[in-house]
């Protein structure tokens, strides 16, 4: 038996496999495909202070080994989450983690305070890295003083586990990792999508209505691995790694680079049961490699 | 409705015309209920230049023989890859996806207006209508007679009115120019439409003027196909809805388009 339990800061997870925000709905969209209860955690869609309709159509472009999206945080707002969605999903045996998003520091704090009263939300993931909203979002994640400021204010409003989700659209990921660690983040998750663009040469138009969007999928994996590895060497808090994970081998690479846990995003769209396959694959790898506790692999990259 | 992911066996890949082909796929087990207007998401295997699945409507379903029929137009990388598949190949599908067309309030004649590969959901819809004592008739538009589909698949359910852009089959012009829409009386209680958006909008406007119910099946760029990514939204009077989940079939009076 392999011990798969991991601690993401204060948060104990039964295994390192979780699903990424914006890619797994609220969990129940996947009930037909897998037993959601087996996941370490489910990161639900970015939640803002009030209803947001998101960006205009088209919002998606397929790109080589990946996709661009410009969904723009479409969600019904935190009150709707608390009153309508939470009662439906609170009984999952996996941790439900809310991705907290906003345009202003006040909005981030407001969402956080409203979630604070929910027993079954043991952690929030502070999304300071959404590339698809005009104000806020990534601005907080790409300007270090802003990242510090928002983490500080949210930290005051939240005493359970605080995960800060970093943007890859920066020169030095270590700088941001250290900065939010300094403000009391319990862990960091990375990477969010990379800012990208697709053009239709025939029509000479951008494919996305918003022109630019967030790139995800295997195309970003090398960048994500590099950033996880750099962050691992910069901070002491645990890291949740993601970006292009399609199978167990990809997940193990992230763990070797320094991730304590991983999230799977875009891959769910192609194989909605992929997360369970990754979980089983990690267990099998450990068995084959004589690893009895998955934590032995964290940052175990040999040079 | 519970969704499934299964490997189907390709029984036949029939060329319909220069651009269209029909895949006949056998399910490994009894099929669940599949409704007209619903679609499947096909995984494109061994294809380096595609990444996501491709959404394709149900053309027909044979519950007894456990067969699914898909009418596909070659437009790009994925549909070209599928065109090359041979009997015996296996194909992974997620199904059944999306909502479905609804019955008219009155059990009378209805008109199904389709353009090009947009006629794809109609055989299954017509079968369903017939089973519910509704009489379907079709108004189908194509570019020219070389690009027609197998009309027998439609004629077995009801009368087919045809139009081609160049007049090489049926009446000349678009479906909107067809005499069936110009006649002094319009004997239908509801209109169903699928095809290019400009056509669907014109059909919807036509139905609206006659104060008839109209349902349209929309397309959109989809990443997941089952409601998880919010990439496929359509603006409606009820806010942005997912074409893959609350759609693809919408009552046209709800659409902001
Ligand atoms: C719910 C739904 C049901 C569908 N049913 C059918 C069907 O029964 N038969 C059928 O042939 N097609 C159907 N389509 C359209 C089909 O999914 C696309 O044609 C297909 O995904 C194109 O893939 P490709 O790799 O060949 O093209 P790509 O190489 O991806 O693109 C080639 C060209 O096609 C255009 N294109 C790509 N996707 C779409 C799309 N979704 N709608 C319009 N244009 C597109 C691109 O802009 C590009 O110009 C349906 C789409 C939806 C959303
Ligand atoms: C359609 C889509 C929507 C997303 N929505 C969010 C979101 O609301 N909040 C967030 O923090 N990240 C969001 N992301 C980013 C993912 O959580 C993840 O960081 C990124 O996609 C990289 O992982 P992947 O390559 O496994 O998808 C979204 C990604 C996609 C593809
Ligand atoms: S395609 Fe993902 S929600 Fe519709």
Convert the pLDDT of each residue in B91-102 to its tens digit.
999 999 999 999
Judge whether residue A34 has pLDDT over 70.
yes
A45 lines ligand 2 (CB under 6 A): yes
Distance B223 CA to ligand 3 centre (A): 6
Distance B82 CA to ligand 3 centre (A): 22
The reported pLDDT for the residue numbered A194 is: 96
Judge whether residue A136 has pLDDT over 70.
no
Q: Whose CA is nearest to atom 19 of ligand 1?
A: B75
- Residue B149, judged by CB atoms within 10 A of its CB (0-12, 13-18, 19+), counts as buried
On whether the CB atoms of residues B113 and B192 are closer than 8 A, the answer is yes
% of chain B residues with pLDDT over 70:
100
The superfamily in CATH containing domain B4-97 is Translation factors (2.40.30.10)
**Looking at the partner chain, which of A32, A59, A66 has a beta carbon nearest the beta carbon of B233?**
A59
The reported pLDDT for the residue numbered A135 is: 64
Q: What is the pLDDT of residues B122-156, one digit of tens each?
A: 999 999 999 999 999 999 999 999 999 999 999 99
Q: Is A234 left (phi over 0), alpha (psi -120 to 50) or beta?
A: alpha
Contacts across the A-B interface (CB distance below 8 Å): 85
Task: Indicate the pairing of strand A95-100 with strand A41-47.
Answer: parallel
The reported pLDDT for the residue numbered A288 is: 96
Could you give the maximum distance between any two Cα atoms of chain A, in Å? Answer: 57
Judge whether residue A252 has pLDDT over 70.
yes
Q: What is the pLDDT of residues B191-224, one digit of tens each?
A: 999 999 999 999 999 999 999 999 999 999 999 9
Going by the DSSP 8-state scheme, the letter that residue A220 receives in this structure is G
| Over residues B79-101, mean pLDDT | 97
Q: Within chain B, which residue ranges are assigned CATH 3.40.50.80?
A: 109-217
**Looking at the partner chain, which of B49, B94, B227 has a beta carbon nearest the beta carbon of A25?**
B227
Catalytic residue (one of A13, A130, A144, A286): A130
The reported pLDDT for the residue numbered A141 is: 86
**Mutation for A interface: B4, B42, B46, B51, most A CBs within 10 A:** B51
Distance B94 CA to ligand 2 centre (A): 22
The reply to whether residue B223 touches residue A65, judged by beta carbons under 8 angstroms, is no
% of chain B residues with pLDDT over 90:
98
Alpha helices in A63-168 (DSSP H): 78-80, 86-89, 105-116, 138-142, 144-157
Assigned token pair, A3 = 């011990």
What architecture does CATH give domain B109-217? 3-Layer(aba) Sandwich (3.40)
ipTM of the shown complex: 0.95
What span, in angstroms and rounded, lies between the C-alpha atoms of B6 and B27? 8
Q: What is the pLDDT of residues A62-120, one digit of tens each?
A: 999 999 999 999 999 999 999 999 999 999 999 999 999 999 999 999 999 999 999 99
Closest CA to A274 of A244, A248, A243, A242: A248
Q: Whole-number mean pLDDT of chain B?
A: 96
Going by the DSSP 8-state scheme, the letter that residue A3 receives in this structure is B
Assigned token pair, B253 = 């009076």
Distance B232 CA to ligand 2 centre (A): 15
Judge whether residue B169 has pLDDT over 70.
yes
The reported pLDDT for the residue numbered B106 is: 87
The reply to whether residue B224 touches residue A268, judged by beta carbons under 8 angstroms, is yes
Q: 3-state secondary structure string, chain B?
A: CCCEEEEEEEEEEEECCCCEEEEEEECCCCCCCCCCCCEEEECCCCCCCCCCCEEEECCEEECCCCEEEEEEECCCHHHHHHHCCCCCCEEEEEEEECCCCCCCCCCCEEEEEEEHHHHCCHHHHHHHHHHCCCEEEEEEEECCHHHCCCCHHHHCCCCEEEEECCCCCCEECCHHHCHHHHCCCCCCCEEEEECCHHHHHHHHHHHHHCCCEEEEECCCCCCCCCCCCCCCEEEECCEEEECCCCCCEEEHHHECC
Q: Whole-number mean pLDDT of chain A?
A: 95
Taken in order of first residue, the domains within chain A and their CATH numbers are 6-54+72-195+217-297 (3.20.20.70)
The reported pLDDT for the residue numbered A129 is: 81
Judge whether residue A134 has pLDDT over 70.
no
- Catalytic residue status for A23: no
For residue B240, list chain A residues with Cβ-Cβ distance below 8 A: 53-54, 74
Judge whether residue B248 has pLDDT over 80.
yes
Beta bridge partners of residue B192, listed in sequence order:
B112, B215
**Looking at the partner chain, which of B49, B223, B234 has a beta carbon nearest the beta carbon of A60?**
B223
B168 lines ligand 1 (CB under 6 A): no
Closest CA to B193 of B139, B145, B155, B148: B139
């Amino acid at each position: 038996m392999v011990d798969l339990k991991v601690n993401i800061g204060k948060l104990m997870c039964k295994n390192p496999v979780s699903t990424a925000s914006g890619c797994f709905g609220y969990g129940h969209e996947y009930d037909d495909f897998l037993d959601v209860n087996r996941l370490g955690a489910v990161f639900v869609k970015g939640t803002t202070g009030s209803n947001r309709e998101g960006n205009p159509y088209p919002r998606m472009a397929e790109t080589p080994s990946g996709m661009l999206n410009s969904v723009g945080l479409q969600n019904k707002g935190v009150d709707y989450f608390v009153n309508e969605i939470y009662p439906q999903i609170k009984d999952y045996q996996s941790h439900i983690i809310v991705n907290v998003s906003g345009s202003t520091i006040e909005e981030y704090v407001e969402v956080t305070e409203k979630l604070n009263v929910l027993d079954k939300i043991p952690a929030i993931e502070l999304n300071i890295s959404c590339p698809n909203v005009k104000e806020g979002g990534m601005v907080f994640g790409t300007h270090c003083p802003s990242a510090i400021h928002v983490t500080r204010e949210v930290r005051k409003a939240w005493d359970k586990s605080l995960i800060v989700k970093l943007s890859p659209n920066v020169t030095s990921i270590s700088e941001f990792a250290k900065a939010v660690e300094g403000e009391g983040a319990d862990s960091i998750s990375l990477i969010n999508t990379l800012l990208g663009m697709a053009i239709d040469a025939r029509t000479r138009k951008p494919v996305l209505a918003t022109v630019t969007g967030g790139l995800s999928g295997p195309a970003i994996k090398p960048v994500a691995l590099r950033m996880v590895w750099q962050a691992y060497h910069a901070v002491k808090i645990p890291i949740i790694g993601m970006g292009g994970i399609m199978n167990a081998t990809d997940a193990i690479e992230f763990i070797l680079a320094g991730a304590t846990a991983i999230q799977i995003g875009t891959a769910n769209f192609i194989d909605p049961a992929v997360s369970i396959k990754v979980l089983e694959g990690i267990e099998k790898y450990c068995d084959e490699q004589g690893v009895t506790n998955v934590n032995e692999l964290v940052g175990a990259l040999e040079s | 409705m519970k969704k499934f992911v299964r490997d189907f066996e390709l029984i036949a890949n029939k060329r319909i015309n220069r651009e269209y082909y029909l895949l006949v796929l056998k399910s490994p087990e009894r099929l669940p209920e599949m409704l007209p207007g619903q679609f499947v998401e096909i995984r494109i295997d061994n294809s380096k230049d595609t990444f996501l699945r491709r959404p394709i409507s149900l053309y027909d379903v044979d519950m007894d023989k456990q067969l699914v029929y898909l009418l596909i137009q070659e437009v790009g990388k994925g549909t070209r890859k599928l065109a090359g598949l041979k009997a015996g190949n296996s194909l992974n599908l997620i199904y059944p996806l999306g909502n479905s067309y609804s019955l008219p309030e009155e059990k009378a004649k209805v008109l199904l207006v389709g353009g090009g590969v947009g006629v794809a959901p109609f055989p299954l819809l017509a079968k369903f209508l017939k089973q519910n004592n509704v009489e379907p008739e079709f108004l189908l538009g194509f570019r020219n007679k070389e690009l027609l589909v197998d009309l027998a698949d439609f004629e077995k359910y009801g009368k087919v009115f045809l139009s081609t852009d160049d007049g090489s089959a049926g009446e000349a012009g678009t479906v909107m120019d067809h005499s069936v829409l110009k006649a002094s009386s319009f004997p239908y209680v509801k209109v169903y439409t699928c095809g290019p958006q400009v056509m669907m909008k014109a059909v919807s406007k036509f139905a609206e003027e006659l104060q008839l119910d109209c349902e349209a099946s929309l397309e959109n760029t989809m990443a997941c196909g089952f409601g998880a990514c919010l990439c496929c939204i359509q603006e409606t009077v009820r806010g942005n809805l997912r074409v893959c989940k609350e759609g693809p079939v919408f009552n046209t009076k709800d659409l902001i388009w």
